[in-house]
Amino acid sequence: MIIERFKIEIRWAFIFILMTLAWMFLERIAGLHSSNIKYHPVFTNLILLPIITIFVLALKDKKKNFYHGKMNYRQAFITGAVITLIVTVFNPVTQYFISTVITPHYFENAIKYAVDNNKMTQVKAEEYFNLKSYIIQGTVGAFVMGFIISAVVALFFQSKRK
């Protein structure tokens, strides 16, 4: 059964989603979505550290518990790709939850900051900082970055040939 074959990837995809929600909550309480919004573009990229960690732990889990310690590049990449696809499919729901529950004032704060600091016009800021735009950006970003991270991390998980 397909669910059984990919249960490790499904579990790690949901760990990824929960980590993303926790990260956004931490950004909010650190003021990165309000009073410290000027630092948001820098600190938000640090999410790559837990993302890569999750991919590494997921591949370790798959290698040990499904492939019995031997994994080739293709198997490792497919593991990361499946996690990526699940995260990508759930991204619109994740982004909706982030934008309506965790940090409902982020868009208005980001628009105000961008306009007040001459980073964007009001129209451009409103076009960029909104739920639809973030769902699209997040979905495309999850897909592209997930496959790139899968490709790179998989290099380190392939078993050595004898």
Q: Please check the confidence at residue 161 and state whether its pLDDT lies above 70.
A: no
**What 3-state DSSP class applies to 32?**
coil
72, 161 in Cβ contact below 8 A? no
Q: Which residues make Cβ contacts (< 8 Å) with residue 37, sequence separation at least 6? A: 31, 109, 110, 113
Percent of the chain with pLDDT over 90: 94
95, 138 in Cβ contact below 8 A? yes
Tell me the average pLDDT of the chain: 96
What is the distance between the alpha carbons of residues 63 and 94, in angstroms, rounded to a whole number? 28
Q: Which amino acid would we find at residue 137?
A: Q
Q: Rounded to two decimals, what is the model's pTM?
A: 0.94
Q: Please check the confidence at residue 162 and state whether its pLDDT lies above 60.
A: no
Element (H, E) at 28: helix 7-29
Q: Any idea where the domains of the chain sit in the sequence?
A: 2-155
Over the stretch 72-98, which tens digit does the pLDDT of each residue have?
999 999 999 999 999 999 999 999 999
Nearest partner of 27 among 13, 45, 14, judged by Cα: 45
Which tokens hold the place of 31? 């003021």
Taking each helix axis from N to C terminus, what angle separates 7-29 and 48-65, rounded to the nearest 10 degrees?
160
